[in-house]
Chains A and B, each alone.
Chain A
Amino acid sequence: MYIHKTYTLNNENQSIKTYKSALKEISKINLRRSSKFNILAILGALRCMNEKNISKNMGIYVASEYGSITSVKTVLEQVSQDSIVMPFDFLNINSNNVSFYVSQALESNGKNMVLTSHDLSFEKTLELALFDLELNEIDDLLIGNVDESISEIYDFNKYVSNVNENPSKDISSWIYINKEKENSLAEIKEFTQFSNLQELKELLLNIDFELISLNQYATKQINELEINKNLILSHDNIHGSVNIISMLNSDKKSFVYLSLDKNNKGYLVKLAK
């Protein structure tokens, strides 16, 4: 499996207006009442696929930790005040409309899915997307890690896993993958699941890399895993896709991305240029 295109939007919290204006420059899709979550996703996906012809059967996969949280909060407030739930607000909490609109904006006819998995949403989604590609259920795939900043929610860190209390950002990070080696940016050499640190340690014994990126829980295990600190690329730590793209943008040739959840289950992804 080969990575051909990547794009990362990784901004401090910005208004929906900013992203709508940016989207208007590249797409005519009408999203007048749509959520920031949707706009972020479409903007990132279109920028990633810029000038790339897509196949008739491209799978679109959206991984999100928080989903359409701003819209959910709007509807919760309406319910709490016994107000009418407005139709567009209701549609905006229907999470899979994000992949629907990405698919519509790209004029794709393949399948689209929205998935989440505590702290490992991108990794679990990538696992299923690669499985679809392996089975030839799709010809190519576009996977996005999308989350809007939750910084406007009071004391937001008490609701989420943000071990290092990093600022919460607007994220729309996308990777396009197919089976063609030619003109690819990198190859996914390994994608392995492990259930505990012992299994991970055994995996690491047989893997060489020039650069490693770790998510927030993996970062806590650097000493336990005896990882050479000089090889670590420190970055976002929460969104897997952002971490992987950061490594690919370096001048190194072989990479490992390690992600764990709070119970030390996780994934090891090995990539090579």
Chain B
Amino acid sequence: MKETYIIGKSLHCNLGNNKENITQKVNSLNQNNYLSFLENKFKDKAFYEIEESYSCQKNKFFDILKKVIDDALIDAKINSSEKEELHIFIGSTSMGISVDEQINKEFHEEKHTDELSHIGYGYIGTFIEEYLQSKYKSNIFSTACTSSTNALAYASKLIKHGKIKKAIVIGIELFNKSTFNGFSSLMLLSQNKVYRPFDEKSDGIILGEGCSALVLDSKKNKDSDFKYISSSNICDNYSETTSNPSGEPIFNCMNDSITSANLTLNDIDLIKAHATGSENNNSSEAKAINTLFNTYETNTEVTALKPYLGHTLGACGTNEIAFLLYCIEKDFLPATLGFEKAEEEIKFIPLQEHKTNINKATILFNFVAFGGNNSSIILSNKS
């Protein structure tokens, strides 16, 4: 059995498009200045928006994609001849719908002859295959908010079992009205415009956009590279849009990832919760974490990252992993901004302040998606 390491990463999000910018901003944020940070960010709409402007949606989509790929390859020290050996895994919820929206609107305004950009989203994979000149066909995962997590889990396992040698895993989610208005029509968006996962004042989701890439290899580049330990995917048939309120499937998913690696909760330094801020997710995931702590008769740190990035849906897997690994490279675990007082059902206190002097950790990343798709993944850079 081989190992799988994350040897390169990149992230383009509302906080910036490189490690230095992003971690500098995160480090400067705390519970006291969080509200003013959001007020400034949400002047136009409550959405974590990438700041750069682009001439059209198509350019935005492909320019961001190319930059994220290039940055991850540089970070991984992948040379041009190695690029063709990369297997490609992509995860997204909305795929290229932002491009279609623009084309369709221009079609109705008689500025464009086609009513769609494409039918289906396979073209995104073909674009990346041709950009990298990869020898291999891409896999595109469409499992809502667990899309890029599932992409990462499969890529990691394929390397671990010697089926493939190297991979690039990409998550992309860009602003589009279909998603924004859809979440609004489901009345899932925060009205107070403050992201407060697990907090008693939490009132919903705030969406965001972001794109990230992780480069995987069976050999590590440096000692601090994170290794794939295990993962679990459990599907819950309770409802299309909400998790089983018992939290049981989410608990089973997190626990499976721990037990399948022969670990216990004592080995986990941090749980990165999915923590969308929706009433159902706050409650069901909190119950699952409570159950985990009760089962192992111990607890560990918990944090939530959506107050920094917004909910980037299908890309949140690779986005939040790249984000957290950046923070650890800068020796800290980020606090759960916006958390003040726990909801009644929550028996734990997420990280209130950035925890410093941390550069080695074993982390359980938890994600939950529409369609009952739950995914957990454990990564570690401890020896």
Q: How many A residues face the partner with a CB closer than 8 A?
A: 66
Whether the pair A72, B125 counts as a contact (CB closer than 8 A) is: no
A95 to B91, CA, bound (A): 12
Whether the pair B369, A96 counts as a contact (CB closer than 8 A) is: yes
B224 adjacent to chain A (CB < 8 Å): no
Whether the pair A118, B123 counts as a contact (CB closer than 8 A) is: yes
Contacts of B118 in A (CB 8 A): 159
CB distance from B169 to the nearest CB of A (A): 14
B178 adjacent to chain A (CB < 8 Å): yes
Contacts of B122 in A (CB 8 A): 65, 116-119, 121
Q: State whether A80 and B150 are in contact (beta carbons under 8 Å apart), knowing that A99-B371, A111-B235, A153-B119 are contacts in the complex.
A: no
**Bitwise interface map of A from 99 to 121 toward B, beta carbon under 8 Å scored 1, else 0:** 11101100111111111111111
Stretch of B11-19, B23-31, B157-165, B264-272 on the interface side: B157-165
CB distance from B195 to the nearest CB of A (A): 21
Whether the pair B137, A120 counts as a contact (CB closer than 8 A) is: yes
Whether the pair A117, B142 counts as a contact (CB closer than 8 A) is: no
Contacts of A262 in B (CB 8 A): 126
A94 to B95, CA, bound (A): 11
Q: State whether A67 and B235 are in contact (beta carbons under 8 Å apart), knowing that A94-B371, A112-B373, A153-B119 are contacts in the complex.
A: no
CB distance from A10 to the nearest CB of B (A): 18
**Bitwise interface map of B from 93 to 117 toward A, beta carbon under 8 Å scored 1, else 0:** 1000100110011011000001110
Whether the pair B185, A85 counts as a contact (CB closer than 8 A) is: yes
A153 to B118, CA, bound (A): 11
**Bitwise interface map of A from 65 to 100 toward B, beta carbon under 8 Å scored 1, else 0:** 111010011011111110011110111011111011
Whether the pair A103, B93 counts as a contact (CB closer than 8 A) is: no
A133 to B189, CA, bound (A): 39
- Size band of the B side of the interface? 35 or more
CB distance from A78 to the nearest CB of B (A): 8
Counting chain A CB atoms within 10 Å of each CB, which of B97, B120, B237 scores highest?
B120
Q: State whether A87 and B182 are in contact (beta carbons under 8 Å apart), knowing that A80-B105, A109-B235, A114-B142 are contacts in the complex.
A: yes
- Please name the residue on chain B nearest to A118 by beta carbon: B122
Counting chain A CB atoms within 10 Å of each CB, which of B104, B115, B137, B241 scores highest?
B137
Contacts of B185 in A (CB 8 A): 84-87, 90
User: Which of B130, B138, B233, B371 meets A117, CB within 8 Å?
Assistant: B138
A179 adjacent to chain B (CB < 8 Å): no
A269 adjacent to chain B (CB < 8 Å): no
**Bitwise interface map of B from 217 to 243 toward A, beta carbon under 8 Å scored 1, else 0:** 000000000000000011101001100
User: Which of A67, A78, A87 meets B142, CB within 8 Å?
Assistant: A67
Whether the pair A114, B143 counts as a contact (CB closer than 8 A) is: yes
B372 adjacent to chain A (CB < 8 Å): yes
Whether the pair A66, B119 counts as a contact (CB closer than 8 A) is: yes
Contacts of A64 in B (CB 8 A): 120
CB distance from B173 to the nearest CB of A (A): 13
Q: State whether A75 and B150 are in contact (beta carbons under 8 Å apart), knowing that A109-B237, A112-B371, A154-B115 are contacts in the complex.
A: no
A123 to B137, CA, bound (A): 10
Whether the pair B237, A103 counts as a contact (CB closer than 8 A) is: yes
A262 to B114, CA, bound (A): 23
- Please name the residue on chain A nearest to B103 by beta carbon: A76
Contacts of A17 in B (CB 8 A): none
Other CB < 8 Å A-B pairs besides A76-B101, A80-B104, A109-B235, 15 of them? A66-B120, A69-B120, A79-B177, A91-B240, A93-B97, A96-B370, A100-B370, A100-B372, A111-B235, A114-B142, A115-B142, A116-B120, A117-B125, A118-B137, A118-B138
